[in-house]
Chain A
């Protein structure tokens, strides 16, 4: 097993590259089972519904619920088409699920949820959380989230996740029983404390840097994209004014009138076409946003590595200093023994009793410390090992997804161009008739 191999590689040095490839993937999954949840269960977020209810402050509020549907794959494969099991979840429940996964699987790059509020919007786009378009895009995003976690080699075997999908009642209690919140709290505290790792795994240092870059680039891109969309919207909409002026002008003309009139209609259509184009383009924005948020998840994994590395280093440091103390004490006593009379005279008050006791205590602490270091090291190694596997998995997924997103984007551009050619050709026909 890969982990055994890593045991020997020595974690404190931590810098030795481990040849990893996808083949390790299945070996290192904690549960070790090959099939993911998604291969057994078809998961979808089928519908949304607006509801109103009382919140914690006993205030009336509006919220949206999402219908999570599951169907066993087996039945589908056999050609049966059973009615899906379904249950309603709120966005906040998805958030709880994700925090749970994040805390419970510190070595996994947990896929992000769709944005809580619409960000990087161009100005014509609604930023309202109840806006139907926003809700629809969120529905797609939540479905994507569920499909990602249920097809993840590790996460998909989580029981809480399964309950989230299948048990409407009692799920919340079950999550909170796991005590993930306490763990999250202590973890977070530790993370926020400033600490400096001496020997971090270089791969993770690199990966952390990369996650920063990914975040920078995707957010820059999203911002630039929103501005481009704004301007493109302007260009199209101003053309709509031609529609008006052509039709007003056409009234004045005899021979040119008809051509102008219909050219005006085409210009109107041209101006209107940008709404759909940009609405469609939001999908690309959402794809980019997912990776913007993924960058955060990737960084979280790297920071958790730093944390466990830090804890290991602190423990080792402690052990070393304890050992040093013992050494001093021991050599001191040796020296004292060799110069019996002198030291007896000098340190006459010091009885061998407390020294023995201190030595004993140190010995105990050292063995505890050794135990702790061993534990930490193991933890660190496990984290490094499984985290790296998941980071590699993430990288592959990212390369594939972004490439697909870019192709999708290019296809969308082609579509936009075709529409443009079509509309201007129609307009040209009218002009030629003038």
Chain B
């Protein structure tokens, strides 16, 4: 925190430094339970900048960067007040110095397996990257690896969800164009969300994922698994004394929102089904007009005109349905998965609080017995809970704001698509009406002349 700490820490003296958790430091300490090792000096307001940060795989890294510090400020300000701050703007633009895209899926067939790879392209100005641009191919497994790494190395953060695995073969055709396209978009979304995140985007695993030809997937795995398990062990079945109301509210929100998403998904599916059936009937309806046109003289062209309009409407409806299924459904799906991730983080937070409460309780009892001071371990735990809370709150705000933007954009686009559909149909019918009315005028003129 050599660079960022002085600026970033000023407004948040009462809480633990969230960055220390963010940039955190899984030193291979013998104490298994202390997965989030934070110098207790941070509690006394001194700012724990002197801690030597060690990455999970043992490689020392720089502890912070200006970008993450200012974004931290941004996050915290979101917490405290929503008044616009020049720094706020500054932060949001500064974090956008890492641009990633996932595209160009390719199928690979080998004797062992068949799989799809996607091109992952990176453009960046960050100094952590050796080159300004990278492009390499990754498969789903690699994304899965990245997500696992992120989740393990940054347990206090909300990691965006990956699209489902679909391990069950045969249920989904994993090599169909539609499936690959949808998955590619979801992977792109995932990677963009990670790259835009003020903390996650500095994770060295992401760096490796974006730049190294070969991912050493085994690296550091054993330790991380142990860390994850330790949290579970510590908190299993423990009932929290006093979970702050805001986290309960978050949990409730997620449950209800999940329900609403489920409902919306069902509605969207149902509309698509109705539209498909409507389309079938509409096509049939149009062909009846063409059939009738064949047995008429004077009415031939009007009837054909109607048939033409109906088929224009069919095409417009098809576009509408396709657009909705490609746009609306994946977002709903993503948010359902997002909620799962978020719940996961909430659970981990509860566990971490439980651990703290458990230790504190034990310590209090012990103190009553032999008057020893509260051990350092307990304080560490408290720190960890507090940094968890801060990260979670920041991510929550961030997620809420993303969600709002995403849904605003999504629903607006849904409205646009419908408007577009109606406009296409309307213009088809309007041109038919003017044509028919012209003909009619002509006919009356003719009969009048007779």
Contacts and interface: CB of A to CB of B under 8 A. Distances in A.
Given A238-B270, A425-B415, A434 B407 contact: yes
A428 B440 contact: no
A242 B264 contact: yes
Contacts of B408: 256, 259, 431-432, 434
Interface in B250-307: 253, 256-257, 260, 263-264, 267, 270-271, 274-275, 277-278, 281-282, 284-285, 288-289, 291-292, 295-299, 302-303, 305-306
Contacts of B331: none
Given A238-B270, A263-B411, A403-B436, A414 B302 contact: no
Interface stretch (A87-95, A222-230, A357-365): A222-230
Given A238-B271, A414-B426, A431 B412 contact: yes
A30 interface: no
Contact of A235 (B264, B274, B440): B274
A231 B432 contact: no
Contacts of A235: 271, 274-275, 278
A407 B411 CA distance: 35
B230 interface: no
Nearest to A414: B429
B269 to A, nearest CB: 10
Interface in B35-65: none
A406 B306 CA distance: 8
A228 B285 contact: yes
B411 A410 contact: no
Nearest to B253: A252
Given A213-B295, A252-B260, A406-B303, A421 B436 contact: no
B303 A414 contact: no
Interface stretch (B136-144, B182-190, B417-425): B417-425
A79 B97 CA distance: 84
B437 interface: yes
A162 interface: no
Contacts of B270: 238, 241
Closest 8 pairs between A and B when the two form their complex, measured CB to CB: A417-B426, A428-B415, A231-B278, A420-B422, A217-B292, A224-B285, A431-B411, A234-B274
A221 interface: yes
Contact of B260 (A231, A245, A428): A245
Nearest to B426: A417
A72 B40 CA distance: 106
Contact of B430 (A242, A248, A414): A414
A173 interface: no
Interface of A: 210, 213-214, 217-218, 220-221, 224-225, 227-228, 230-232, 234-235, 238-239, 241-242, 245, 248-249, 252-253, 255-256, 259, 263, 398-399, 402-404, 406-407, 409-411, 413-414, 417-418, 420-421, 424-425, 427-428, 431-432, 434
Given A407-B433, A413-B309, A224 B412 contact: no
A42 to B, nearest CB: 24
B229 interface: no
B404 A255 contact: yes
A231 B257 contact: no
Contacts of B178: none
Contacts of A214: 295
B416 interface: yes
A51 to B, nearest CB: 39
A196 to B, nearest CB: 25
> Chain B interface: which size bin?
35 or more
Nearest to A427: B415
B264 A221 contact: no
Interface of B: 253, 256-257, 260, 263-264, 267, 270-271, 274-275, 277-278, 281-282, 284-285, 288-289, 291-292, 295-299, 302-303, 305-306, 309, 404, 407-408, 411-412, 414-416, 418-419, 421-423, 425-426, 429-430, 432-433, 436-437, 439-440
A413 B260 contact: no
Contacts of B415: 424-425, 427-428, 431
A74 to B, nearest CB: 27
24 contacts: A221-B288, A224-B285, A227-B281, A228-B282, A230-B281, A231-B277, A231-B278, A235-B274, A235-B278, A239-B267, A241-B267, A256-B407, A263-B411, A403-B298, A407-B433, A407-B440, A411-B429, A413-B426, A413-B429, A417-B422, A420-B418, A424-B422, A427-B415, A434-B411
Given A417-B425, A424-B419, A427-B415, A238 B267 contact: yes
A210 B256 CA distance: 63
Interface centre among A224, A239, A418 (most CB of B within 10 A): A224
Contacts of A398: 299
Contact of B419 (A210, A238, A428): A428
A407 B437 contact: yes
A213 B293 CA distance: 11
Given A249-B257, A403-B436, A403-B440, A256 B404 contact: yes
A206 to B, nearest CB: 11
Contacts of B407: 256, 434
Given A417-B423, A417-B425, A248 B291 contact: no
B310 to A, nearest CB: 9
A228 B278 contact: yes
B169 to A, nearest CB: 33
